[in-house]
Amino acid sequence: MSSTTWSTTSTRAVPRVLSIAGTDPTGGAGLHADLKTISVLGGYGMGAVTAVIAQNTCGVRSIHTPPPEVLRDQLLAVSDDVVVDAVKIGMLGSAGAVEVVGQWLQEQKPPLCVIDPVMVATAGGTLLESEALGAVLELLGSADLVTPNLTELASLLDRAPAQDWPEALEQGRRLADQLGVAVLVKGGHLPGERTPDALVAPGQEEPVAQWDAARIDTSCTHGTGCSLSSAIAVLAARSGRLPESVEAARGWLRGALEHAEELEVGRGSGPVHHGHHLAPALRGMLGA
């Protein structure tokens, strides 16, 4: 990645985006959230399942990880038939899955790869085997953008989670330099009334772009990381411009958080409202 001016000429009005992630039967996170996001933002979503997770808005109950060869068969079934314009990678879970995805990326070399290194579910539950961490670090070097939350960022650096925004930025720059790829530093888990984010690039002291906004008062945050990363993937595949795509995805997610409680889904940390921006069009279709 060229850090400050990432762009590509292989843009498409309807990009074909592959999500590689775990499941969520309540539909708020993982592969289910990715496919919703890709569709409502104008892409064609495809999915390869890394793990079948029994979870809901209250927590994770169990995880079943299929054999690595099953994951590879899924990936090859897609790439043997469909041109993939962008890849979003979420939960991988096991070292075997990480290895399979890494090999497939090297073989296929998709134009855009966004990795959300999912390690812990928002509603609780560990989603990455401890022995897979080293393999994940190696895989992240194949990405164009990595989007960890602050806990994941610290784990990838073997440090304690950042306690303030300057420390978070420093950790983001360190990871970007270590991996040689862009990192989106997300401040949503910090205390306070603001939620800063920054796009940092390897070898650069100052962020490529920064954003800051008031925190949205809602408990419905299930799947925010999954949704944001897949939004960036589909928008960047459409536009070819990474900073602008992060900004647009961030704005869309804020709307999804603002309208999340309208869904009335679950008794725990509810999902965001992926299709909130479609309301005017739906009213027009229904004549009301």
Active site residues: 186, 221, 223-226
Give the other-Cβ count within 10 Å of 110's Cβ: 19
Q: For the chain, how big is the Rg over CA atoms in Å?
A: 18
The Cα–Cα gap between 64 and 93 comes to 10
CA angle 64, 66, 67 (to 5 degrees): 140
The Cα–Cα gap between 30 and 51 comes to 10
Maximum alpha-carbon separation in the chain = 56
CA angle 154, 158, 161 (to 5 degrees): 30
